[in-house]
Amino acid sequence: MGHTMREVAKRAGVSPATVSRVLNKTRYISVETQRRVLEVVRQLKYFKNVHARRLATGRSDLFGLVISEIANPYFPEVIRGFQAAAWDRGFDVILCNTQYDQARTKSILRKLIESDVRGVAVMTSSIDKATASELIDAGIGVVFCNVGPAGKLVSTISIDYQRGIEQAIEHIVGLGHRRAAVIAGPGDNRTAITIKDALVAGLKKRNLNPFPVINSNYRVDAGASAVRAMLSTTDKPTAIFCGSDLIALGAMSALEEAGAGIPEDISVIGIDDISFAFLARPPLTTIRVPRERVGTTAFEALDRMLKLKRRKGADYYLETELVVRRSTATAR
């Protein structure tokens, strides 16, 4: 039979409340007291009973994190940032993966409500405020990415893609490129639309009328298919802007298959700066999104909002920046 918190407290010479504070990191406890309590916890192999704590306090230790696709290398750093921030404060995380499926999404939101989570970070563009209204109606705080404005029980994180996109366009113009194409993300994805609109408007502003502009999904094979279609045209671009690094990696693969040199014949630019971007051959020039900070900020936004009496959310802004590698060069 497992030991109780009272037994831990008695052996460590402290109160049960002090043991709780050490384990849940809810208040400052002296280093010596922490060391003594944790040593007893180790000796007794004590595990805190989260269900008992929930019954005693009436509050859950859980936060939800909703992403669209666990296989997408965009998300691991978001997950790491969110989970680390939650664990540092003594909370646990339920990770949910929608797979862009509406029925699955509704089931996930219902499960989070049933699990009595304190707050939910919705880090996928496939869920909007209307879809997540059940969470808000249940009194659960929500933080969205690239959805505004903030309000009661709603905080938002806005990623400034515009800054990195402007840097990327200036970079390409400075290299002498005059024909550019855009392979954007899905046409029904709000982040993909934001990025595409910013790319098209920025290129037109510099008199680089983008052609073609193609929508695709966030998968490698979609980028490859888009490039194959481009290469069948007579007026081929000398630079390709991609709506994600995965799309860019697919585009580079198709260009290599077709015998086109990167960047000698065509320069390629991605967005996100996933780990594979640096490992690509040649390494990919891309617009860096601070994804771990997105995750950390998402938890901090929820934590701060839920500590406020009125549960009023706030708006948070994160910048992007261009990372120049070897997939871009002077136009022929």
Report the CATH fold assignment for 161-289: Rossmann fold (3.40.50)
- Give the mean pLDDT per block of 10 residues along the chain (332 residues): 79 87 77 89 75 53 93 94 93 93 93 92 89 92 91 95 98 96 93 95 94 92 93 89 97 96 97 95 97 98 92 96 98 88
Domain 62-160+290-320 has CATH 3.40.47.10: no
What per-residue confidence (pLDDT) applies to 239?
A: 97
Could you tell me if residue 49 is left (phi over 0), alpha (psi between -120 and 50 degrees) or otherwise beta? beta
Q: Where are the beta strands (DSSP E) in 194-312?
A: 213-215, 239-242, 267-272, 285-288
**Residue 146: count of CB within 10 angstroms of its CB:** 16
Equal CATH topology for 5-48 and 161-289? no
- Which of 1.10.260.40, 3.30.70.100, 3.40.50.300, 3.40.50.720 is the CATH number of 5-48? 1.10.260.40
Q: Where are the domains of the chain?
A: 5-48, 62-160+290-320, 161-289
What per-residue confidence (pLDDT) applies to 2?
A: 66
What per-residue confidence (pLDDT) applies to 4?
A: 80
What per-residue confidence (pLDDT) applies to 51?
A: 52
Let me know: does 287 contact 270? Beta carbons within 8 Å. Answer: yes
Give the type of residue at 88: D
What per-residue confidence (pLDDT) applies to 55?
A: 45
What per-residue confidence (pLDDT) applies to 50?
A: 55
What per-residue confidence (pLDDT) applies to 261?
A: 96
